[in-house]
Amino acid sequence: MNKIISVILILLTCATVIHAQPSKREFRAAWIATVANIDWPSKPGLPSIEQQEQFVRRLDQLKQVGCNAVIVQIRPSSDALYASSIEPWCHYLTGRQGQPPFPYYDPLTFMIAEAHKRNMEFHAWFNPFRALVDSHKNPNPPKHVTYTHPEWIISYGGKSYIDPGYPEAREYVIKVITDVVKRYDIDAVHLDDYFYPYRIAGQQFGD
């Protein structure tokens, strides 16, 4: 009987020790949305230093509550919150689609450096097929994909989408993402959904 009790006590001790060990790896992340200035920056067209200060404050808050990664939306609508030779600057950053930040800096380089400084991973969040959020509020510049490849674009309800049914369109999106992977020290890529539109009565979505 004593042997049985001893074995049970040993097993209970082992279980307690195992349970008390911290997880080797936990993913504690937060999304930082840029579309419509949901999370960052607080509004379009802010001076660069104010954008940077806002992002640093957000990182510090997330670090304080235990986050070890951030997932930042860097391509909300076939535009860029980073220096790109393929797509125009995002108007949620600068106030005008295609206009660089002022004074000039590369937000993605800055954000990655600040995240890594705090031992946080930086995950780049892409919206692969959304091309235009609102044709009345953010008209695209001539070099935007909606103009350079109109044959790929489906427009519906004031919004536009890249049609993934075209192999060339898919290759274009892959090219955009690969460009970031090659040039920036990101830790992961996240792909958001296709953004199929909500149905509008009497209007057919031409997919």
DSSP string computed for 56-120:
HHHHHHHHHTT--EEEEEEESSS-BSS--SSSPBPHHHHSSTTPPPSS---HHHHHHHHHHHTT-
What are the pLDDT digits (tens) for 56-102? 999 999 999 999 999 999 999 999 999 999 999 999 999 999 999 99
What are the pLDDT digits (tens) for 50-68? 999 999 999 999 999 999 9
More confident residue, 130 or 158: 130
pLDDT band at 198 (very low <50, low <70, confident <90, very high): confident
pLDDT band at 187 (very low <50, low <70, confident <90, very high): very high
Residue ranges covered by each domain of the chain: 28-191
152 neighbors 146 (Cβ within 8 angstroms): no
Superfamily of domain 28-191: Glycosidases (3.20.20.80)
pLDDT band at 24 (very low <50, low <70, confident <90, very high): low
Please compute the mean of the pLDDT values over residues 161-173 and round it to a whole number.
95
CA 155 to chain centre: 23
The answer to pTM > 0.75 is yes
Does residue 136 have a pLDDT over 90? no
| Predicted pLDDT at 135 | 74
Burial (CB count <10 Å: 0-12, 13-18, 19+), residue 131? buried
